[in-house]
Amino acid sequence: MNRWPALALLAVTISSSALAQENLELGKMWTFERPPLAYLKDEYGFAPTAEWFDRLRLASIRFGRGCSSSFVSPKGLIMTNHHCVRDGITKVQGGNDWVKDGYYAKSLEDEVRVPDLTVQQFVGREDVTARMNEGIAPADDDATIAKKRAANQAAILERAQRDNPGLQPQVVTLFQGALFELYLYKVYDDIRLVFAPHLQTSHFGGDPDNFCYPRYCLDFAFMRAYADGKPVDTAAHYFRWCTGGVKEGELVFVTGNPGTTKRLLTHAQMEYLRDLWHPMQQELVDNRLRIRKDLVAKDPSLERTLRAEILSIENSQKAYRGYWDGLLDQSLMTQKIAAEKAFRARIDADPALKAKFGDVWDKLAQVAERRRGLEARQRFHTFGGHPVLALAVDVIRAGRAETAEARDAAAKRARDNAAAIGTIAELTRTEFLDHVARAKRWLPANDKWLAAVLDGRTPEQTADAFAGTELLDRQKLDDVLARIGKVWDGPMAVELVIAESIRPLVDAAVKEAQELQRIEETQGARIGQALFAAYGTSVSPDATLTLRFSDGVVKGYAYNGTIAPPMTSFHGLYARHTEFGGKHPFDVAPVWLERKDKIDLTKPMDLVSTNDIIGGNSGSPLVNANLEVVGLVFDGNIEMLPNRYVYRAETPRSVSVHVDGIMEALKKAYDAERLVKELLGQSK
């Protein structure tokens, strides 16, 4: 294991890599096993060594389940975004409101362990493509291929765990299944809160400024990894602090775990997403946000409970809108059509490649057409987000099970779910009613799911019936489970009648979705293989929430008829506060007003660079060529969002907190002397 390629061998791929980047808009989310060395040399005159890549990789860590972070001291100190730790802080703040008011541990003893939080360090890898494809025959259908790959993956993971005790293995799918990598992670599960600023400091400008720039946020937090009750020794792999940061035009790198891009999708697949998936998803997210804000407006005491969820949904709302806008942009789709045309022309020009891959685009177009017919059923032939309906379906499954094993499993699931439901909250009821309303919009009037759920009732009457269910009473649930498989005497509860009717609809939608997914996986892998045949393997794969690095430069951009500066300063923070009269969300935290005369207003706060990022990069370090940390990625501009589908470089930007802004806050707003000394290498 721990196999990293000889870097000199990779330099020969520059011509194919550069050509693929030019024609296919695949972006610059490079893997560590296939770094584009010749491209870096040609573009920047920069020639990193194997040691450089090792240091970059080992200091960069995956944070929790969807963020990035890095080690920034020899004592396990971790830097990430405040918005990546909010949920964790709510678990440990008790009667305090550390999310809103901030927290600073003045000593190691004050550092607070956050439960259910891990960070993962990428320490080894192996190409397992051949092992994942072992036993697969050319004549195998999609279901057989999926089954064989699942068995191969299980065997690979079992062996990896046996051969590498203490490490966590993960099989990573690259290029839609054309390549498979086994990644090994060292996992730290004792992570403690060291510092978090005020929510308003990290989230200044709120939703209006989200995905925008110029920006005036200090979205940072510090945690620490522990092992055996002591801070982890990270002296061999951490990023030094670069006081003064960077200048415009300087080469910088982002390392992190970008979550999802879909740049290898075909034009037909993107059209389906544009026309059906995104409109339905946007409506769902918009309504979820409205429902929560309405609840808080009616009962302000819910604000603290729903705060983190509202902030998260606001972020998703704007992100999905930006992704969809990209697909609605005719220039972007024209760019995709041209790239696909060039790709197909290369395949068709070679008779052998045409015979092997020429039909793959048509096959995926057929799947996209079938998805158009499935999308509404897949979304709405469900339990509507209501736990009682899900419970009722489990009860029906137990009664209709063909084997004792299946019956017992469904009954156990029903009992476990019933015990976990508790009181039916108003939020659950309101979201179910919203589900029905959206279903009536997207499904045909004679749809069987709607007929079963309503059946002469109003949606509110159905929701009332769910709220009054007897299935949450353990004794009555056991009685129903005992009777359900036999001839039922007397009336059946509304939720069970509905469950009986919708169960086959739910199962049919799931079955068809799984079938289409298997076809997409098989044909998507062929797209990846065709890509290699046409352009070589040194291209950037789609994001997979695994460690990547991206090159770029610090650079402003043209927007809104003017120019955005490469950096903002504290001057702008206070000006924005004044211009909005100190009204939320443009109000600075009180301590910043009290100490304004101590703040060096010329210090930079945020900056933009041309690095390729997407959701999952939150918390990524921004480092210079000397591997010194110069910033902390916390966002991208609104122009970056369409890069989910087609990479463009002119105006999309990564937005980072500047290290000097962080240091100014720690020193002058928060008196965090212990932390300052540790970051600057002055602590003992």
569: left (phi over 0), alpha (psi -120 to 50) or beta: beta
**For residue 252, which of 37, 558, 549 has the smallest C-alpha distance?**
549
**For residue 76, which of 223, 186, 287 has the smallest C-alpha distance?**
223
For 534-588, write each residue's pLDDT tens digit: 988 778 999 999 999 999 999 999 999 999 999 999 999 999 999 999 999 999 9
Q: Which helix (H) or strand (E) holds 522?
A: helix 494-535
Q: What is the pLDDT of residue 539?
A: 87
DSSP code, position 498: H
359: which residues sit within 8 A by CB, 6+ positions away? none
Strand locations in 197-250 (E): 221-227, 230-231, 240-241
Residue labelled with tokens 């693929």: 20
**Rounded alpha-carbon distances, angstroms, from residue 599 to 102, 221, 662, 676:** 19, 20, 12, 16
Q: Are the C-beta atoms of residues 286 and 64 closer than 8 Å to each other?
A: no
For 445-461, write each residue's pLDDT tens digit: 999 999 999 999 999 99
Q: What is the pLDDT of residue 14?
A: 42
236: which residues sit within 8 A by CB, 6+ positions away? 58
- Phi, psi (degrees; rounded to nearest 5) at 573: -60, -50
Q: Are the C-beta atoms of residues 258 and 29 closer than 8 Å to each other?
A: yes
Residue 112 burial (CB count, 10 A) = 18
Instruction: Using 50 as the pLDDT threshold, list the residues of the chain that sit under it.
Output: 7-16, 19-20
DSSP calls for 538-571: -SPPPP-SS-EEEEEEB--EEETTEEE-SEEEHH
Q: What's the pTM value of the predicted model, to 2 decimals?
A: 0.94
Tokens read off for 533: 């045949």
Residue labelled with tokens 């996992």: 187
Q: How many angstroms separate the CA atoms of 60 and 78, rounded?
A: 10
Give the long-range contacts of residues 430-434, CB within 8 A, separation 24 or more: 430/291, 430/294, 430/295, 431/288, 431/291, 431/384, 431/385, 431/386, 432/384, 432/385, 432/386, 432/389, 432/459, 432/463, 432/466, 433/459, 433/460, 433/463, 434/287, 434/288, 434/291
